[in-house]
């Protein structure tokens, strides 16, 4: 039987549950009791059924389950909980699935850190922020079931790489309303695609971005290996760091002439990318922007003044890569900082 958490309002409710023949939860807690309160798993009665008496999940700390690392495989957090404390379930090495109910509005930093078997998570629409590495070192591919809609998911503020539950870049699945997300149409009115919003969704095949969007955040689509089509409108002015890194299914990219900056590693390891056109509006290209684009053979840059270029922007691209620039600017590109590294590949755009 899987280990899991279960809530009982009173001791009588717990007794009735067991008398009805249901299997004993390995970890229970009872809110209304005059019995001794156990605040840690190791203090609970010995045996196959360990009962946490009077413990509120809101008050769980990193030591609540300190000795339960290999035992708890499911965490069924009951309705009524609004806050999950920092490190509440950290280092539960056997934890496979977590059900976070509607009503939870905050999850503390590193709440699920170092749960290496964690593979299934339900996230409620009430949660709008994950900003403190809640899933650090949870490296398995995951299925996440989200109770809201696409607009709600896009409204979640993921504060860093490890705040998004999709740590792996292969084998992840996002279910919205019970349906796996494979195509995205960014709703009208959205102005920013936030950092890491669609990170690691390799089932995602196409993205259409509405013309209200002005910026694509850091890591917004990183690791979307199945992504073959992206339509970027001319309302977008910036593409963030690692925005499309490891999107190996992309074969070509036309960047609209509204974009002024391409972040570092924006297309890092896009190994299927064969051609890119960068408009004359772009004034800066970050370090390693196209690093590892092993199939990239054609890069057209239309600016007559060489954009500021970061280090190693085109390293480990195809050996046959040609960088096409305006004829009158060929020598300027060959002499410009970091562009000079690729001088032998720079040619004039054919008229």
pLDDT values of the chain reduced to their tens digit, one per residue, 351 residues = 234 455 566 667 777 777 887 766 555 555 554 443 344 444 444 443 444 433 444 445 545 555 555 566 777 776 777 888 778 788 888 888 888 889 888 888 888 888 888 999 999 999 988 877 888 888 888 999 999 999 999 999 998 888 889 876 678 999 998 999 999 999 999 999 999 999 999 899 999 999 999 999 999 999 999 998 888 999 999 999 999 999 999 998 889 999 999 999 999 999 999 999 999 999 999 999 999 999 999 999 999 999 999 999 999 999 999 999 999 999 999 999 999 999 999 999 986
Q: The pTM is what?
A: 0.81
User: Are 259 and 235 in contact, with CB atoms under 8 Å apart?
Assistant: no
Class of domain 182-351: alpha beta
User: Are 333 and 346 in contact, with CB atoms under 8 Å apart?
Assistant: yes
Q: Which CATH number fits domain 1-180: 3.80.10, 1.25.10, 3.30.420, 3.40.50?
A: 3.80.10
What pLDDT score does 169 carry?
A: 63
Cα-based torsion angle of the residue sequence 264, 268, 274, 277 in order, rounded to the nearest 10 degrees: -10
User: Are 77 and 55 in contact, with CB atoms under 8 Å apart?
Assistant: no
From-to residues of CATH 3.80.10.10 in the chain: 182-351
Q: Which of 152, 161, 171 is nearest to 131 (CA)?
A: 161
Here the tokens at position 10 are 């009173």
């Amino acid at each position: 039987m899987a280990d899991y958490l279960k809530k009982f309002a009173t001791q009588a409710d717990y007794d009735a549950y067991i008398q009805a023949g249901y299997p004993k939860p390995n970890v229970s807690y009872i809110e209304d009791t005059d019995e001794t309160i156990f605040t840690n798993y190791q203090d609970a009665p010995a045996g196959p059924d360990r009962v946490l008496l009077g413990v509120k999940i809101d008050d769980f700390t990193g030591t609540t389950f300190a000795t339960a690392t290999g035992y708890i495989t499911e965490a069924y957090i009951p309705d009524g909980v609004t806050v999950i404390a920092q490190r509440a379930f950290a280092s539960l090495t056997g934890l496979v699935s977590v059900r976070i109910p509607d009503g939870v509005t905050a999850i503390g930093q590193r709440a699920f850190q170092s749960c290496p078997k964690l593979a299934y998570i339900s996230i409620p629409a009430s949660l709008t922020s994950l900003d403190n590495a809640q899933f650090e070192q949870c490296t398995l591919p995951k299925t996440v079931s989200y109770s809201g809609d696409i607009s709600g998911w896009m409204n979640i503020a993921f504060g860093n790489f490890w705040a998004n539950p999709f740590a792996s870049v292969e084998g992840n699945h996002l279910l919205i309303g019970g349906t796996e997300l494979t195509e995205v149409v960014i709703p009208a009115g959205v102005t920013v695609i936030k950092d890491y919003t669609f990170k690691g969704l390799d089932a995602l095949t196409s993205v259409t971005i509405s013309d209200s969007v002005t910026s694509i955040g850091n890591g917004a689509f990183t690791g979307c290996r199945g992504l073959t089509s992206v339509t970027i409108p001319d309302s977008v002015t910036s593409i963030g760091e690692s925005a499309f890194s490891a999107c190996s299914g992309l074969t070509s990219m036309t960047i609209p002439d509204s974009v002024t900056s391409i972040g570092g590693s924006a297309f890092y390891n896009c190994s299927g990318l064969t051609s890119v056109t960068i408009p004359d509006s772009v004034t800066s290209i970050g370090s390693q922007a196209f690093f590892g684009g092993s199939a990239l053979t054609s890069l057209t840059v239309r600016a007559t003044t060489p954009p500021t270029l970061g280090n190693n922007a085109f390293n480990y691209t195809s050996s046959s890569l040609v960088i096409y620039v305006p004829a009158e600017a060929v020598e300027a590109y060959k002499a410009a900082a970091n562009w000079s590294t690729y001088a032998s590949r720079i040619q004039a755009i054919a008229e």
